[in-house]
Homo-oligomer: A and B are copies of this chain.
Amino acid sequence: MSDTEVEQTQRFKVGELTVEAGTPILTEGANSAQLFTVLSGMGIRHTTLENGRRQVLTFILPGDLIGLQGAVMGEMGHSVEARTRMRLCVFDRAALWDFFKNAPARAYDLTWIAATEEHFLGEALATLGQRTAEQAVAWALVRLWQRGVALDLVENNSMPLPFRQQDLADALGLSLVHTNKTLAKFRTKQIASWRDGRLTLTDIDELSRIGLVDEQKAVRRPLL
């Protein structure tokens, strides 16, 4: 990122915000005036159906941008909730339009982010629709792991993963019980172990094979 870009970005940084685990950051349907970039901590995006069932859309890790939908479309299509204490960089919604007028490279990055997010959701859709429970869990663990690697969170074959099994279940459209049993299977087979908020992968290749994950070159994601 060039100096002027940094400067342009910094100019619209309103401030920083720290939220505790469990705090809702954005609410579905709300007209949020702010955008956030995650500096540290993790959370989830989710929607709730009228029947009360919850779908987790994505897990949010450091570097992710939150609230673009609300800023662009005027209304959030999902809620965002912190799962650990999170530090957020706050931008004003007005920054968006300024980017488009004065910082085309930054604006392009925004579109890039949206397109990438769309790509990911497409893959998730294919998971819920076409993968079995075992394949789905394997897929999710590998993808989370890949993000962990990119963020340098992995040490000793292990990375922090401060979510609940219920979160993963809701992300994959599985019941909590079945998710638990599938995880237990991986643990018994010594492929992957997720406990006490840490994920440990001992056989990534096998897990990728099970989850039908096509390895993809890591792409640097633009940071806002």
Tell me which of A57, A78, A107, A129 has the highest count of chain B C-beta atoms within 10 A of its own C-beta.
A129
Q: Nearest CB to that of A97 among chain B residues?
A: B108
Number of residues on chain A facing chain B (CB within 8 A):
47
Q: How far is the CA of A129 from the CA of B168 in the complex (A)?
A: 12
Query: Does A115 reach chain B (CB closer than 8 Å)?
Result: yes
Q: Mark interface residues in A86-124 (1 if CB within 8 Å of B CB, else 0).
A: 000000000001001100110110111011111101111
In contact, B173 and A128 (Cβ under 8 angstroms): yes
Chain B residues within 8 Å of A51, by CB: 130, 212
Contact A77 B123 (CB under 8 A): yes
Contact with B along A36-79 (1 / 0, CB 8 A): 00000000000101110111010000000000110011000110
Q: Assess whether A172 is interfacial by the CB under 8 Å rule.
A: yes
A212 — which chain B residues lie within 8 A by C-beta? 49-51
Please name 19 further chain A to chain B contacts, defined as beta carbons within 8 Å, in addition to the given A55-B122, A73-B119, A118-B118, sorted by A numbering: A49-B126, A53-B130, A55-B129, A57-B122, A57-B125, A68-B111, A69-B119, A72-B111, A72-B112, A72-B115, A97-B108, A100-B105, A104-B104, A107-B107, A114-B114, A125-B125, A125-B128, A128-B173, A129-B171
